[in-house]
Amino acid sequence: ILIPERMQLPQDSIPSVLQHLVTSIAQERNVGIIILVPSFASTQLWEDAANVVDKEMVLSSVKSLQEGKSLGPFVFANRYDGMDLAGNSCRLLIMAGLPMGASEYDIFRNSIFANTATINYELAQRIEQGMGRGARGPNDYCVVIATGKDLVDYLNRDSNKRLLTSS
């Protein structure tokens, strides 16, 4: 798990570095690349580097990854569970932003109850579900890059770290 914001990098260059990384790995390697973002509005940053998957194309895109017909890179909005991307279907996973939920209710609820035990536990669960898209079993692996100020801030808090499982 890599967190670029914790590295000695110019903070304003991180998005372009990640876009370049995605593009070059997609061209040079035969591995699946997934980018998880919290909402469709946040897919815009990735439009030049990856294929943004709309709601109607999620199942066919996942199947394409699983069968090795396409390795992406694909951007999925608010899809932190329900996608089994074992093996080469996902070797690089970027979580860009805190998975707060996409509905107006989720956003309202998270803003009202921010930093409460219930919300923090739900966020920890979504983060783990997201990271689990590329590592489905004991013999599976992927590089996970966690990025975005809100996600990094969440992961930096000791109280939130305790909500995550040791793996």
pLDDT in tens, 68-80: 899 889 999 988 8
Instruction: Assess whether pLDDT exceeds 90 at residue 116.
Output: no
- Report the alpha-carbon distance of residue 107 to residue 100 in Å, rounded: 7
Higher pLDDT, 68 or 137: 68
Average pLDDT score over the chain: 88
In the chain, the percentage of residues whose pLDDT exceeds 90 is: 44
Is the pLDDT at 119 greater than 90, yes or no? Answer: no
CA distance 109 to 30: 41
Asked whether residue 102 carries a pLDDT value surpassing 90, the answer given is no
